[in-house]
Structure 1
Amino acid sequence: MTVPVLPQLAARLREAAHPGGPPCACGAAVTLAERPDATVLRHAGVVAKAHAPDTDPAGLAFRLATAARLPDVFVPPLGTAAATLGDRLATLWPYGTPVDPEAPDDAPWEAAGALLARLHRTPAAAGAAPAPPCPAPAPPPMRGPRKAAGAITRLRTALTTTGSAAAPPVLRAWAALPAWARGAAPMPGPAILCHGDLHLGQLVRYPAPDGPWRLIDVDDLGVGVPAWDLARPAAWYACGLLAPDEWTRFLGAYHAAGGPAVPAGADPWPALDVPARALTVQTAARAITKALAADRPLDEVERALVDACARMDLAPAELTPGIPK
């Protein structure tokens, strides 16, 4: 983040948390995330986010309008116009209580499945219809494949200075994916509204502390293949990292809420296979890149992801659960 932006973001956040009031005693803003693609601060009950420098203003406008019009799916933004802070666009949001990583048995898999189904059933154009006479912003593509491609690019960059025996099977698995899953071609099928980066960190209770579960983070929202939103849990399940009952709870809730990504009462894997492979490769690539940066070996979970990529290379059907690994 450029130097002027962080203080500006913190000042905007304090003003939003205490509009027109005297200086508060809440203390400094708390940094919730600080990455090249996003910086997120919290002050009292408000969260401010500086989006990636290459964020498309029109795409973000669609995403903010969609979140505002779907309060039964998303935490709604505090306003649908992004501020410009240096080279970044910034948005304001109410704070929600995140999933407790220390209580895995309480993970809201049913809520995640139901929220995704509601989102996938929302007509893309209607999801962001503004008040007249403003024209409706065009739905952007869901950014999941683009993010996966970015993870591979960062891995290849890391490999130019440090080798890794874990990288070749991951890169071969990536090359075997169809072009659309690598962000190299348009996504197939009807234009269905998708979150684009679903995982448990994208769910919060709103209003805090114990309101209903809602989705956050609209940066990757757009139209595309809805199975992508189910692919990370599917990949974890296929790799043995998600218990079968948790996968069943998630998929069952999605079916019960009428989700269209996978057929109810039929094998879901023909629809999930390619997105699950892509998310497995993306997560493995990130793991190797982080391990190389820290000069450490892969841990057990990271090794399981790389092993799954190797199975894709040796026997394409072996990502599917139920096949001995």
Structure 2
Amino acid sequence: MTTTETSVVHDLGTLAHRLAHPTRTRCGCEPPQVLADRPDGTVVRSGAIVAKAHAADTDREALAARIALAAAPRLTGILLPPLTAPERSPTDSGHPEPSGTPRRPGPSEHPASAPAPRPVTLWPFGAPVDPTDPEAAPWAEAAVLLARLHRTEPPFRLPPMRGPAKAARAVARMRAALPGDPAVLPVLAGWRALPAWARGEAPVPARRAGFLCHGDLHLGQLVRHPAPDGPWLLIDVDDAGVGDPAWDLARPAAWYAAGLLAPEDWSAFLDAYRSAGGPAVPPTGDPWPELDVPARALTVQTAALALAKCAAEKRDPDELEQLMIESCARIATLPPELAADPAS
């Protein structure tokens, strides 16, 4: 961990702790807990408060719209609402300043009037999915939340869902980490087999656009709130916006196609989504004409990130990572009419 990252973690912990105990100077609670520490998101918890420093290159106007979305009344019971808008003041060193009082943002509120290297938002703590109990994974509950999200009319103008942009960013990260390495060739071949809209190089086809989407659905994006037994809610709206709702089903679809998600879990997810009226796939029949391109894109994204991570850690891909890389090779061999979206 770098000095800057350590300082950000410290400042977030201080901020969360002060807001969790606004009237105390001393307490006997546990030290702040680091939930994530990456360039694209550092998350620290103290008691009932979670503080998140977003990526330094975050579009602050888009972030403000996304935070306002999570606070919008029509998303109650679907998205975890925030405690604050992005923090307004950085410290002189450029780290998030621990200041302010929790409050809900309005839809028109924008983040910092003075730009900060990493905008900070505050959230209530929710109990995450237990990674040690895969049989209890809430696939059906996640599907119902997605269906409700996709059926909700956007409450105000929102930026595009960032799924295709994230896939492109993953491929760029892989290329930078492994320049000229033949290991990237299957992933690049799978990437080139995708239509331009799935690579973030063209607008989403009209029939796929305009739906309210999460943009980065996986089980780590669900929590119970209030913890520990409240209803499941979706978290992390950094990639939310309008776009193709099939993208939110793409990661479990890709895992199922690669053999990483059990057929019964995939069926529970898909059946629950359809039963809740989700618009991403037809209510009956084969879902793959709608899911195919997004699932391929998520396969490429996962493989690209795996190779970049392997390069950083100086190791070979593990068995699961290798499966996704091999899936990219299969994507590249498909006939053009199967690899492209006829509406793109």
Q: Deviations over 1:17-51 (max 9, x none)?
A: 11232222224211110001110000011100000
Aligned to 2:101: none
> Is the CA contact (8 Å cut-off) linking 1:142 and 1:195 kept in structure 2?
yes
Per the alignment, in what secondary structure is the counterpart of residue 31 of structure 2?
A: coil
Aligned to 2:137: 107
* Greater mean alpha carbon deviation, residues 45-54 or residues 7-16: 7-16
Residue 196 (structure 1) aligned with residue 226 (structure 2): no
RMSD value, Cα: 1.9
2:168 to 149, 156, 163: 149
Per the alignment, in what secondary structure is the counterpart of residue 146 of structure 1?
A: helix
Aligned to 1:131: none
> Is the CA contact (8 Å cut-off) linking 1:84 and 1:90 kept in structure 2?
no
Please state how far the C-alpha of 1:289 moved relative to its aligned partner: 1.2
1:306 to 321, 325, 340: 325
Residue 75 (structure 1) aligned with residue 83 (structure 2): no
| Residue correspondence of structure 1 range 75-224 to structure 2 within 5 A | 75-85=80-90, 86=94, 87-124=117-154, 126=155, 128=156, 138-160=157-179, 163=181, 165-189=182-206, 190-224=209-243
- C-alpha change, 1:235 and 1:285, in structure 2 (3 Å) is same
| Equivalent-residue separation in structure 2 for 1:6 and 1:306 (angstroms) | 33
Per the alignment, in what secondary structure is the counterpart of residue 88 of structure 1?
A: coil
2:259 to 240, 246, 249: 240
- C-alpha change, 1:41 and 1:3, in structure 2 (3 Å) is closer
Please state how far the C-alpha of 1:175 moved relative to its aligned partner: 1.2
| Equivalent-residue separation in structure 2 for 1:232 and 1:250 (angstroms) | 12
Aligned to 2:108: none
- C-alpha change, 1:174 and 1:186, in structure 2 (3 Å) is same
- The unaligned stretches of length 5 or more in structure 1 are 129-137, 321-325
Per the alignment, in what secondary structure is the counterpart of residue 120 of structure 2?
A: strand
- C-alpha change, 1:299 and 1:5, in structure 2 (3 Å) is closer
Please state how far the C-alpha of 1:186 moved relative to its aligned partner: 1.8
Please state how far the C-alpha of 1:313 moved relative to its aligned partner: 1.3
Aligned to 1:36: 39
Per the alignment, in what secondary structure is the counterpart of residue 209 of structure 1?
A: coil
Please state how far the C-alpha of 1:8 moved relative to its aligned partner: 3.0
- C-alpha change, 1:240 and 1:53, in structure 2 (3 Å) is same
> Is the CA contact (8 Å cut-off) linking 1:83 and 1:91 kept in structure 2?
no
- State the identity as a percent: 58
Amino acid at match of 1:226: P
Aligned to 1:56: 59
Question: Normalized against structure 2, the TM-score is what?
Answer: 0.85
| Equivalent-residue separation in structure 2 for 1:224 and 1:298 (angstroms) | 32
Please state how far the C-alpha of 1:166 moved relative to its aligned partner: 3.1
Residue 65 (structure 1) aligned with residue 84 (structure 2): no
Residue 47 (structure 1) aligned with residue 50 (structure 2): yes
Per the alignment, in what secondary structure is the counterpart of residue 102 of structure 1?
A: coil
Please state how far the C-alpha of 1:316 moved relative to its aligned partner: 4.6
Aligned to 1:262: 281
Q: Deviations over 1:74-100 (max 9, x none)?
A: 111113454443311100101111111
* Greater mean alpha carbon deviation, residues 15-24 or residues 266-275: 15-24
- The unaligned stretches of length 5 or more in structure 2 are 95-116, 340-344
